[in-house]
């Protein structure tokens, strides 16, 4: 895909939750541009979307057992899991030693992510503090002219950002409730 051959370019993609805007997860300049166009504070890490489970090793240092159980039950799907971050990732990706990851249950999104090498830094396609885009048109209204391309695949099926769970401690901690209910 030619979009990813250009350093610093951003694209809007549909997912199984809301539309996302992102770039290659190993391109520090593009990640910094992502923060800039979203007007996102640097202390808020950018999640990484994966094409396939094998891509997890590109960004995570190791996989705690409790995280594996959530992956087996909810991936692909609307569950983002915070894990220990692999050394050597771009500093802009997250300000600490953790990384938030998920595999979306959306074939078009996974095809784009696969074309980008299996890992993309993706956050909701909106300006910080605004409602997340549920359609390509909503994403364009907020980000048009700031992104290289928009993949329109109709309205988001869930319209709600993913559930986020931190699996870096002794027990899981839900950081954001979304479509996946953690019991």
Domain ranges of the chain: 2-176
- What pLDDT is stored for residue 157 in this prediction? 86
Residues 167-182 have a mean pLDDT of 96
Query: Using one digit for the tens of pLDDT, what is the confidence trace for 84-143?
Result: 999 999 999 999 999 999 999 999 999 999 999 999 999 999 999 999 999 999 999 999
User: Structure tokens of 126?
Assistant: 């909106």
Continuous H helices in the chain: 28-38, 65-74, 107-115, 136-143
Q: Is the peptide bond before 120 cis (omega within 30 degrees of 0)?
A: no
pLDDT in tens, 31-86: 999 999 999 999 999 999 999 999 999 999 999 999 999 999 999 999 999 999 99
Q: Which parts of 75-125 are beta strand (E)?
A: 79-84, 98-102, 119-124
Predicted pLDDT of residue 73? 97
Cβ–Cβ < 8 Å for 24, 92: no
> How far from 124 is each of 44, 97, 101, CA to CA, in Å?
13, 22, 14
Q: How confident is the model at residue 159 (pLDDT cuts 50, 70, 90)?
A: confident
Tokens of 90: 């771009």
Per-residue model confidence (pLDDT) at position 5: 46
Q: What is the pLDDT of residue 7?
A: 56
Predicted structure pTM score: 0.94
Pick the closest to residue 38 from 119, 132, 148, 116 (CA basis): 132
Residue 183 binned pLDDT confidence (cut-offs 50, 70, 90): confident
The label of the residue with tokens 């979306």 reads: 104
In 3D space, the residue among 59, 80, 85, 57 whose CA is nearest the CA of residue 70 turns out to be: 80
Q: How many CB atoms lie within 10 A of CB 24?
A: 24
What would the CATH number be for the domain defined by 2-176?
3.90.870.10
3 has pLDDT over 50: no
Q: What is the CA radius of gyration of the chain?
A: 15
The CA-based angle 52-56-57, given to 5 degrees, is: 130
Look at residue 145 in the predicted model and tell me its pLDDT: 87
Find where tokens 């800039």 sit: 36
């Amino acid at each position: 895909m030619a979009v990813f051959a250009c350093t610093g370019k951003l694209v809007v993609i549909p997912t199984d939750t809301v539309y996302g805007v992102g770039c290659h997860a190993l391109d520090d300049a593009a990640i910094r541009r992502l923060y800039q166009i979203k007007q996102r504070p640097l202390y808020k890490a950018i999640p990484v979307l994966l094409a396939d489970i094998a891509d997890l090793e590109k960004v995570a240092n190791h996989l705690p057992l409790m995280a594996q159980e959530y992956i087996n039950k909810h991936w692909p799907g609307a569950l983002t899991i915070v894990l220990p971050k692999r050394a050597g990732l771009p500093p802009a990706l997250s300000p600490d030693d953790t990384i938030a990851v998920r595999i979306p249950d959306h074939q078009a999104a996974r095809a784009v992510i696969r074309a980008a090498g299996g890992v993309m830094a993706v956050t909701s396609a909106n300006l910080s503090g605004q409602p997340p885009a549920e359609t390509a048109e909503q994403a364009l209204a907020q980000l048009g002219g700031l992104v290289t391309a928009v993949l329109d695949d109709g309205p988001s099926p869930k319209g709600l950002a993913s559930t986020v769970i931190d699996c870096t401690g002794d027990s899981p901690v839900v950081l954001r409730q979304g479509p996946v209910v953690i019991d």
